[in-house]
Amino acid sequence: MNNFALRVQCKSTRGIVAETSTFLTEQGCNITDSSQFDDTDTGNFFMRNSFSSEEGVTLAEIEERFAGIAAKYEMNVEFFDETSKPKVIIMVSRFGHCLNDLLYRWQIGALPIDIVAVISNHMDYQKVVVNHDIPFHCIKVTKENKPEAEARIMQVVDDTGADLIVLARYMQILSDQMCTQMSGKIINIHHSFLPSFKGANPYKQAFERGVKLIGATSHYVTADLDEGPIIEQDTTRVTHAQSPADYVSLGRDVEAQVLSRAIHAHIHGRVFLNGNKTVVFPASPGSFASERMG
């Protein structure tokens, strides 16, 4: 028995859910989880179904047979095997808390991904990465060599067949060309609760404003710096008695958790782009379970 998923995005029309459910039933499939959202402002409809094929029908056969329904409703459709592990490249600079958190979650199976490379503009985490038997690429970036450096990064993407790039506190601004080329395939973690306190040293800005909540935001990367569609956010409380250094330490934990949750949502096909926003469906039952518990 195989576990598959279906993603649908189209204009909202009566009958989509009923016809899709009937089709999967007729193919010998059992729907195990389903989420839908009807955006009344835009008229867009989003749906994600997890289902198991109980009578041996393959994913390719199901996709081919669904083509008529997809054409009828002018759907953007994606079928995928939920057991497949997307290929991911992690990019990091000199702050390693998100990298180390992702390596641990990957190691115990909590993040079912295949980390095919780590790219950095510094050598700080070479040993950590190599000790995990992951290829490490140090690609220095300067104003003068930025096009050549990004060409080398994209070569790694092409060579590995990476599905996703994760900026785990990678402190370089990507070019508009790279953002466009990899649209919807680069996730960043920003160490503030966007849209407040953008740019350099957001924790110092937050401290100076006397905030009572600090947070982190994970979003897709676009040409507009830190303005990409938001996938995940979270906060933690602070008090007047804490210092900017406390903010940074507390913020590290939030950043790591927010980034991992954003990746988890993306790789399970739970995130849909909806203009400059996202639709993020809840996780399917069992999808947070890891291979090594405890």
The 10 Å CB-count burial string (b at 16+, else e) for 44-54 is bbbbbbbbebe
For 133, the enclosing helix (H) or strand (E) is none
Closest CA to 191 of 259, 119, 245, 102: 259
Q: Which residue out of 39, 124, 226, 246 is catalytically annotated?
A: 226
Interatomic CA distance for residues 24 and 51, integer angstroms: 8
Q: Residue 35: left (phi > 0), alpha (psi -120 to 50), or beta?
A: beta
Instruction: Report cis status (omega within 30 of 0) of the bond before 195.
Output: yes
Handedness of CA 177, 262, 37, 18 (dihedral sign): positive
The residue type found at 14 is R
- Annotation marks residue 39 as catalytic: no
What residues form DSSP beta bridges with 278? 273
The residue type found at 20 is T
Interatomic CA distance for residues 20 and 216, integer angstroms: 37
The residues annotated as belonging to the active site are 226
